[in-house]
Chain A
Amino acid sequence: MTTFRQLLKGRFAVLGVVVLVALGSLTARLWGMQVLSGSTFAAAAEGNRIREVSLPAARGRILDVKGRPLVTNRPVMAVTAPATISQDTTLVAHLASVIGVPVDEITKRLASYKAERLAPRVLKLDVPMQTAAYLAEHSADFPGVAVEESAVRVYPGGSLAAHVLGYTGEISETQLASGALPDAKIGDIVGKSGVEASYDKVLQGEKGFRRFEVDNQGRVRSVLDEGAPRAGKDIKLTIDRDVQKVTEKALADAIAEAHRQGFTKAKGGAAVVLDVKTGAVVAMASAPTYDPSIFLGGIKQATWDALNAKSSEYPLNDRVIQAAYPPASTFKAVVAMAGLQTGLLTPSTTFNCPGFWTGLGRQWGKWCWLHSGHGHLSLIGAIEQSCDGYFYNVGKRFYQAQGEKLQAFARTLGLGSKLGIDLAGEVPGRVPDAAWKKAYNQNYPEYQQWLPGDTVNMSIGQGDLLVTPLQLASAYAALGNGGIVVRPHVLDAVLAPDGTASVESSVSVVSNAHLTPANLATLRHALVGVTTVGTGRGSFVGFPISVAGKTGTAQVAGKDDYALFACYAPASAPRYAIVVIVEQGGHGGSVAAPAARQIMAKLFGKKYKTIHTTDVSR
């Protein structure tokens, strides 16, 4: 009896030590985890239970210059669900039939982005009340699916001013990466073009947030904290809705007129109305156009492809700022003023136009558009009749005078570089000179030298010269405004919540050509002559307002001629500058000029009847 106790003593000690080691190592490990690294685990626990989603702010409205809505918002019911429901194929199939969105589309939307696992994806933006009610009643059958209030853009005018307004869409990966919108998150709706893009920060407002406590399944248990979103500000544009409507109609009518005259390839064009003194864009039309509402809730791939197909003539492009054309004879006003300002011309400078110009030698001879010739013409007559022969001579004089004075003057009028309008995508156009030609033909040494013929071609607005419709309108505004080029803009004011202007646009001068009153008067005389006795006469017969304008018919390789008209009016006290261009529309005098008159009739409150004139001039 006593012997076994002796034997066991040491063994109990071993057993005791084993127990102590076991409990001791547990204690040591717990000390490390709970006391030494407790805060790390506490942070992980917080990360487990707290989820944050952002609350979108209502986007600001876009109004016309008189405060009439161009873009507003409409409350809608949106069906949303977190990405996690995609595992439940029965649920997705059921949901697809209820909201009328194919299963593929739902799966695609749920998988759209990896981040923000819990952020609900919009599956359908605008569901009818019955569908919303059905989902609410049967919410037990649709775990995770929610019907939320949302808002979509409404375009009261349909496609009216689509290019100025632009469209909205989910932020792209590239936009996110660019850092231009630092507060933006995946899934945000942002402006993609037009004013929606250039004033996105103003329209966007400030997002709110909501912090939830969630369980291990990601189900929301309670709302911890919430910050209300701050709505975006309304902005007022310089666009006048009524003038815009007429401008778009005039452009469409001009294209139809081109077809009537046999120019059946005419499809695209541009028209713009500028306020001469302020640079405000009163109207801006680009054809063909599109309906911005097709982008709501995500554009369908097929629609997007169609809008970007070559045959579509690219309706998303705003030709007023994104297309550059040869200005053709409308540039003669610039050449004439350049000649007057530099002293190379006087009002009485006279040349003879025999129809075929041989000023650079017979082998370099050039036809005037009027092959029979205009005979002896002064500067004013040459502009009125758009005589090419006369301006070939002027071009030769500029070449001989050296110093690229014509180019320099054109640049002072804002050509050849971006004007800085508050819309994205403006292109600079091109005022060619010797340096440009050398660089442009760097791989073709034989074409690098600037030749007299280059200046001669440029003096009738052809050759390598390219201008945007906006630049041309701005240049004509400057010609009517003493040579002051003001920056064109579409923003009139940013409105505070009470409707008063919190930011107002101001006149910003781009450059000043310092035109002398005498030269201004000479050019005005000539341009008014165009619409009274010259190449634009037919379109302005009986028009009560005196218009200083110039027709143009541009030759583009491989295409029908482009019809152009540029003007400012009233001639004596200019208020508006207008440019109309119809691609492959034929003659400026009979296609573009009537459109300009149609727009002006609206601007000055005059009646307008469709004009059909015949004109073969350039």
Chain B
Amino acid sequence: MRAPLSRILRDRVHAGVVLSTVALVVFGGVMVWAATVTMSGHAALVQRQLLGVGIGVIALVLMWVLDYQVLKAWTGPLMVALSLLIISPRIPGLGASVSGATSWLQIGSIRLFQPSEPAKLLFIVVMAAIIAEYGGKLDKTPDILKVVGLASVPLMLILLQPDLGTGMVFVAIASGMLLVGGMRARWFAVFAVAGIVLVLAVFALNSVLVTSMNKPDGVLIKAYQVDRLLVFVDPTRDPKGAGYNLQQSKIAIGSGGLTGAGLGMGSQSRLNFIPERHTDFIFSVLGEQLGFAGAVMLLALYLALMASALSVSASSRDLFGALVAAGLISMWAFQILENMGMTIGMMPITGIPLPFMSYGSSFMVTNLAGVGMLLSIWSRRYGTTTT
């Protein structure tokens, strides 16, 4: 017996999630168009991005249809899959490294995708499965150490790639999920201190190794990553190098004023002053072309998406679903804060793209698949439904 369509829609479609996602994807498409309008490969870039959206919509529907609870039973294999995914660019015959930072999975000469993107979703699922075991009461020291220890495995693997950006996203995801999973504030403090000590130790060791091994490009951390951090601390440092990008990005955003120069306009975008302007620095283009009004519109859409995700999380039938939704919120919130923050000098520069906005198919597919997971959780909030 078929339920009426309106009933199906009410049960399965979270209007906030769907509408904010549609608006963000459209907005992102427009911005990729506007950012690349004076580039030589303009049409091809826009087409590729639309292809990414197409694949992403398929992924979204698949995740929506898939009962997310099935994933919970596959924790072990998924953990293995996640680890393989992270190290796949290092497997001979499969990996490819572009400009030393972005790792691709490729077969022959066909580039498939960036494994670090789906790895974020897999990480969320694996973490949710692990944390859900404790029923929302994560206050025993052995439990916490076990959970954090398991989380550290993929984190260490990604940091060894080295992929500092994705590593930071992992940390943000884990933090959000541990919060919802019940870890107490003092434990966050403990791990924060431990993290800072560890980072400082790595930096110190790196600088010792750089001088002793005479490898100016960096040993544990790349030299450009150190530069980016130093520029964040002192923007006047090296204005032609790492500081130059930040300076030009700030000029672009600031010059946008209240309403911006108009779509496709703006000298900073048109004349190549903004680096990586369709990928990592697409918000600089948005800021210049659409001004404060455009930026606030984008922030409002993100807020709508995350508020909807929170409502999905709160209405999940089980803790696992709630944790997955919380992981997605953490992932998006951190990437938004980090990406927009770096373009205005609030955060250090890392290679983290802006969800739904930045050019890149792997990234778009991952985000849309994440939305699919939200809808899957929402659809099954009353129990497994049948069609």
Please name 8 pairs of A and B residues whose Cβ atoms are closer than 8 Å in the assembled complex, sorted by A.
Answer: A7-B136, A8-B314, A33-B344, A34-B256, A38-B257, A42-B254, A48-B271, A215-B273
Contact assessment for B295 and A215 in the assembled complex, using a CB-CB cutoff below 8 Å:
no
In the assembled complex, the Cα of A48 lies from the Cα of B319 at a distance in Å of 54
Q: Known contacts A4-B322, A11-B180; is A45 also within 8 Å of B292 by CB?
A: no
Chain B 292-315, CB-CB to A under 8 Å as 1, else 0, gives: 100110010011001100100110
Q: How far is the CB of B127 from chain A (nearest CB, A)?
A: 15
In the complex, whether A22 has a CB less than 8 A from a CB of chain B is yes
Q: Which of A3, A16, A19 has the most CB of B within 10 A?
A: A19
Q: Please, what's the 1-or-0 string for B231-257, where 1 marks a CB less than 8 Å from any CB in chain A?
A: 000000000000000001011111111
The stretch among B140-148, B150-158, B329-337 that forms the contact with chain A is: B329-337
Chain A residue with minimal CB distance to B253?
A: A33
A216 x B248 contact (CB < 8 A): yes
Is B28's beta carbon under 8 Å from chain A?
no
Whether A7 and B137, one on each chain, are in contact in the complex, defined by CB atoms closer than 8 angstroms, is: yes
Q: Does B326 sit at the interface, judged by CB under 8 A?
A: yes
With contacts A12-B180, A26-B337, A29-B344 taken as known, whether A48 is within 8 angstroms of B268 at the C-beta atoms is: yes
Q: Which residues of A contact B346 (CB under 8 A)?
A: 25-26, 29
A228 to chain B, nearest CB (A): 26
Across-interface contacts of A31 in B (CB, < 8 A): 292
Q: Please name all residues of chain B whose beta carbon is closer than 8 Å to the beta carbon of A35 when the two chains form the complex.
A: 257-258, 292
Give min CB distance, A303 to chain B, whole Å: 39
Query: B257 CB to closest chain A CB, in angstroms?
Result: 4
Contacts of A4 in B (CB 8 A): 135-136, 318-319, 322
Chain A minimum-CB-distance residue to B271: A215
Cβ–Cβ < 8 Å partners of A22 in chain B: 333, 336-337
* B253 cross-chain contacts in A, Cβ below 8 A: 30, 33-34, 41
Nearest first, the 5 A-B pairs at minimum CB distance are: A41-B254, A38-B257, A45-B255, A215-B271, A34-B292
Contact, CB under 8 Å: A216 / B273: yes
Q: Give chain B interface residues in 248-286, CB to chain A under 8 Å.
A: 248, 250-258, 266-268, 271-273
Chain B interface (Cβ within 8 Å of chain A)? 135-137, 176, 179-180, 182, 248, 250-258, 266-268, 271-273, 287-288, 291-292, 295-296, 299, 302-303, 306-307, 310, 313-314, 317-319, 322, 326, 329-330, 333, 336-337, 340-341, 344, 346
User: Nearest residue in B to A50 (C-beta to C-beta)?
Assistant: B267
- Cα–Cα, bound, A12→B341 (Å): 24
Residues in A with CB closer than 8 Å to B333 are 18-19, 22-23
A442 CA to B59 CA in the complex, in Å? 103
A451 within 8 A of B: no
Q: A37 to B253, alpha carbons, bound, how many Å?
A: 11
> Which residues of chain A from 17 to 76 have any CB-CB distance to chain B below 8 Å in the complex?
18-20, 22-23, 25-27, 29-31, 33-35, 37-42, 44-46, 48-49
B contact residues around A18 at 8 Å (CB): 176, 333
B contact residues around A41 at 8 Å (CB): 250-255
Q: A294 at interface (Cβ–Cβ under 8 A)?
A: no
Q: How far is the CA of A109 from the CA of B170 in the complex (A)?
A: 55
Number of A interface residues in the complex (CB < 8 A): 43
B137, B258, B313: the one contacting A34 at CB < 8 Å is B258
- Give the chain A neighbours of B255 by CB distance below 8 A: 38, 41-42, 44-45
Q: Does A253 contact B (CB under 8 A)?
A: no
Interface membership of A520, Cβ < 8 A? no
The residues of B that contact A46 with a CB separation of less than 8 Å are 267
Q: Is the interface of B mostly helix, strand, loop or mixed?
A: helix
B271–A214 touching, CB < 8 Å: yes
Pair A49/B299 contact, Cβ less than 8 Å: no
Residues of A within 8 A of B272 (CB): 215-217
Distance to closest chain A CB from B347 (angstroms): 10
- Choose one: A11, A37, A49, A215; the contact of B179 (CB below 8 Å): A11
Instruction: Give the residues in chain B near A19, CB-CB below 8 Å.
Output: 303, 306, 310, 329, 333
* Residue A14 at the chain B interface, CB threshold 8 Å: yes
Known contacts being A40-B254, A45-B267, A215-B271, is A15 close to B179, with CB within 8 Å?
yes
Contacts of B330 in A (CB 8 A): 15
Flag if A23 contacts B295 (CB, 8 Å).
Answer: no
Whether B256 contacts A23 by the Cβ 8 Å rule is no
Q: Which of B267, B313, B317, B340 contacts A48 (CB 8 A)?
A: B267
Contacts beyond the supplied A16-B307, A45-B267: 20 A-B pairs with Cβ under 8 Å: A4-B322, A8-B314, A8-B319, A9-B314, A15-B179, A23-B302, A23-B303, A27-B296, A30-B344, A34-B256, A34-B292, A35-B257, A38-B256, A39-B257, A40-B254, A41-B251, A41-B252, A42-B255, A42-B257, A45-B268
B105 to chain A, nearest CB (A): 31
Q: A512–B156 Cα gap in the complex (Å)?
A: 102
CB B130 to nearest CB in A, in angstroms, measures 16
Q: Can you name the residue of chain A whose Cβ is closest to the Cβ of B178?
A: A11
A37 proximity list for chain B (CB < 8 A):
254
Question: Which B residue's beta carbon lies closest to that of A34?
Answer: B292
| Contact call A49/B287, Cβ cutoff below 8 A | no
Give a binary string over A536-571; 1 marks a CB under 8 Å from any B CB, 0 the rest. 000000000000000000000000000000000000
Residues of A contacting B310 with CB < 8 Å?
12, 15-16, 19
Contact A34 B295 (CB under 8 A): yes
Q: Is A116 an interface residue (CB 8 A)?
A: no
Confirm or deny: A5 has a beta carbon within 8 angstroms of a beta carbon on chain B: yes
Q: Which of A5, A26, A31 has the most CB of B within 10 A?
A: A26
A34-B251 in contact given A23-B302, A27-B299, A213-B271 (Cβ < 8 Å): no
A9 to B333, CA, bound (A): 19
Q: Which of A27, A45, A214 has the most chain B CB within a 10 Å cutoff?
A: A45
Question: Which chain A residue lies CB-closest to B323?
Answer: A8
Tell me the bound Cα distance from A38 to B319 in angstroms. Answer: 46
Pair A49/B271 contact, Cβ less than 8 Å: yes
Tell me which residues from 65 to 115 in chain A have a Cβ below 8 Å from any Cβ of chain B. Answer: none
Q: Which residues of A contact B137 (CB under 8 A)?
A: 7
Indicate whether A213 sits within 8 Å of B341 (C-beta atoms), given known contacts A12-B180, A25-B346, A42-B254.
no
* Cα A11 to Cα B179 with chains together (Å): 6
Query: Nearest Cβ in chain B — how far from A30, in angstroms?
Result: 5
Residues of A within 8 A of B291 (CB): 34
Cα A8 to Cα B322 with chains together (Å): 9
- Of residues A1, A5, A31, A37, which shows the largest number of chain B Cβ atoms within 10 Å of its Cβ? A5
User: B180, B248, B292: which contacts A15 (Cβ < 8 A)?
Assistant: B180
A221 part of interface (Cβ distance < 8 Å): yes
Q: B254 and A15: CB pair below 8 A? A: no
Contact (A8, B180) CB under 8 Å given A22-B333, A23-B303, A48-B268: yes
A30 close to B302 (CB less than 8 A): no
**With the chains together, A39 CA to B302 CA distance in Å?**
28
Interchain CA distance A433-B271 in the complex, whole Å: 74
Instruction: Give the distance in Å from the alpha carbon of A221 to the alpha carbon of B38 in the complex.
Output: 12
Which residues of chain A come closer than 8 Å to B179, judged between CB atoms?
11, 14-15
Q: Flag A184-215 by CB within 8 Å of B: 1 or 0 each.
A: 00000000000000000000000000000111
B347 closest partner in A (C-beta): A26
Query: Which residue of B is nearest A47, CB measured?
Result: B251
* Chain B residues within an 8 Å CB radius of A11: 179-180, 182
In whole angstroms, how far apart are the Cα atoms of A492 and B182 in the complex? 99
Instruction: Report the minimum CB–CB distance from B37 to chain A (whole Å).
Output: 14
- In the bound assembly, the distance between CA atoms of A23 and B338 in angstroms comes to 11
A215 to B303, CA, bound (A): 36
Nearest CB in chain B: distance from A5 CB, A: 7
On chain A, the residues within 8 Å of B257 by CB distance are 34-35, 38-39, 42
Asked whether, in the complex, the Cβ of A44 is within 8 Å of the Cβ of B180, the reply is no
A178 to B230, CA, bound (A): 43
Nearest-neighbour CB distance to chain B for A108, whole angstroms, equals 24
* Smallest Cβ-Cβ distance to A22: which chain B residue: B337
Cα distance A44–B266 in the bound complex, in angstroms:
13
Q: A4-B319, A215-B271 are in contact. Are A33 and B340 (CB under 8 A)?
A: no
